[in-house]
């Protein structure tokens, strides 16, 4: 019987940048979380990455970077059990760090795509960095989360550099793409459409057409998307009052926030939090919950 861990919609709001462990008995199988990017390392023994009809061997210490869209799983050898160390990264929850253009690339919605799966064998420098991070006496806190984020960025780095378009600033579309690639997504909440038009150096009317062509949605819809993403993050991962979430997400009134949120998700902010609130957890003083599959 295939033993692949189940996931739910709540996984999208489970803590990311948190180091966790899974132990697999011989011949048992585990699938990375169904949301975001996952960086997973084989702690010991031999394993295999299964994706479609392919079967890729993973030696002890090797590191696998995979996106939820890869739809694969890791199989422990029939000869031995293995341990896995992993963490996830949700780019959409890093709008103050990752630009809008990078988010589109990482979600696979841009014209160019990033490979959904990359394997770094044990001789590569990245697995050694992961091993060193796991060996820290207290793997938690801000500096540790930043280190995990940097490791993920390095794993993506080379391919991101190849995938990002080589933009020149000769027309409005290219200037807009350059702005979105270089600017954190949250910056769109801090500026008016007129300010963006001045930054891009074109008329608001022309920018309105170009913005929709480049992003698939209007400037107003994109801002609403970012605000709602911030609101759900705050509702799921903080104890802030709903009214504070509304103001921190850029809404001018609680009634407007409730109306927009309910129309978009079918639940009021309070009810949505009740449904997803069990994912709100503090940093662990050690590696995350250790789970054994196959026992």
> Can you give the length of the chain in residues?
295
Q: What are phi and psi for residue 104, nearest 5 degrees? A: -60, -40
Residues 188 and 159 in one domain: no
Residues 109 and 180 in one domain: no
Structure tokens at 195: 């300010």
| Alpha-carbon dihedral angle through residues 14, 15, 17, 22, given to the nearest 10 degrees | -60
Half-sphere exposure (Cβ direction) of 265: Cα atoms closer than 13 Å: 22
Q: What are phi and psi for residue 54, nearest 5 degrees? A: -90, 155
Residues 152 and 31 in one domain: yes
- Nearest partner of 102 among 173, 183, 33, 36, judged by Cα: 183
CA distance 33 to 291: 14
Per-residue pLDDT tens listing for the chain (295 residues): 233 333 444 556 667 888 889 999 999 999 998 888 999 999 878 899 998 888 889 999 999 999 877 788 999 988 888 999 999 998 888 877 887 777 777 776 555 566 778 899 888 999 999 998 888 766 678 888 899 999 998 988 766 665 555 444 458 888 888 888 888 888 888 889 999 998 888 899 999 999 999 888 999 999 998 899 889 888 988 889 999 999 998 899 999 999 999 999 999 999 999 888 644 444 433 344 454 555 4
Residues 151 and 218 in one domain: no
Instruction: Identify the CATH number of the domain in which residue 154 sits.
Output: 2.60.120.810
Residue 64, domain member (yes or no): yes
Give the CA radius of gyration of the chain.
Answer: 21
What are residue 82's DSSP bridge partners? 24
Instruction: Give the structural domain span for 183.
Output: 172-279
Residues 154 and 94 in one domain: yes
- The helix (H) or strand (E) run that includes residue 209 is helix 204-215
The backbone region for 141, taken as left when phi is positive above 0, alpha when psi lies in -120 to 50, beta otherwise, is: left
Specify whether the CB–CB gap between 189 and 183 falls below 8 A: no
Structure tokens at 286: 């050690």
Residue 144, domain member (yes or no): yes
């Amino acid at each position: 019987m295939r033993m692949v861990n189940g996931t739910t919609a709540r996984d999208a709001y489970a803590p990311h940048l948190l180091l966790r462990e899974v132990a697999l008995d011989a011949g048992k199988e585990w699938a990375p979380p169904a949301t975001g990017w996952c960086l997973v390392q084989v702690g010991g023994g031999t394993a295999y990455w299964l994706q479609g009809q392919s079967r890729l061997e993973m030696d002890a210490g090797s590191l696998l970077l995979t996106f939820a869209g890869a739809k694969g799983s890791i199989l422990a050898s029939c000869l031995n059990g293995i341990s896995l160390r992993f963490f996830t990264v949700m780019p959409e929850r890093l709008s103050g760090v990752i630009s809008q253009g990078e988010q589109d690339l990482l979600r696979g919605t841009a014209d160019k795509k990033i490979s959904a799966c990359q394997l770094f064998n044990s001789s590569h420098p990245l697995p050694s960095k992961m091993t060193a991070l796991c060996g820290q006496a207290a793997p938690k806190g801000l500096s540790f989360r930043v280190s995990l984020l940097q490791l993920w960025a390095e794993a993506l780095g080379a391919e991101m550099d190849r995938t990002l378009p080589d933009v020149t600033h000769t027309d409005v579309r290219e200037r807009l793409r350059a702005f979105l690639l270089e600017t954190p997504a949250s910056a769109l909440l801090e500026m008016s459409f007129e300010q963006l038009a001045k930054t891009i150096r074109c008329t608001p009317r022309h920018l309105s057409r170009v913005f929709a062509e480049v992003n698939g949605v209007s400037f107003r819809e994109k801002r609403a998307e970012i605000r709602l993403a911030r609101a759900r993050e705050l509702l799921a991962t903080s104890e802030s009052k709903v009214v504070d979430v509304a103001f921190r997400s850029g809404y001018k009134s609680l009634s407007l926030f409730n109306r927009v949120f309910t129309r978009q998700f079918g639940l009021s902010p309070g009810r949505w939090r009740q449904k997803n609130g069990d994912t709100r957890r503090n940093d662990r003083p050690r590696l995350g919950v250790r789970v054994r599959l196959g026992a």
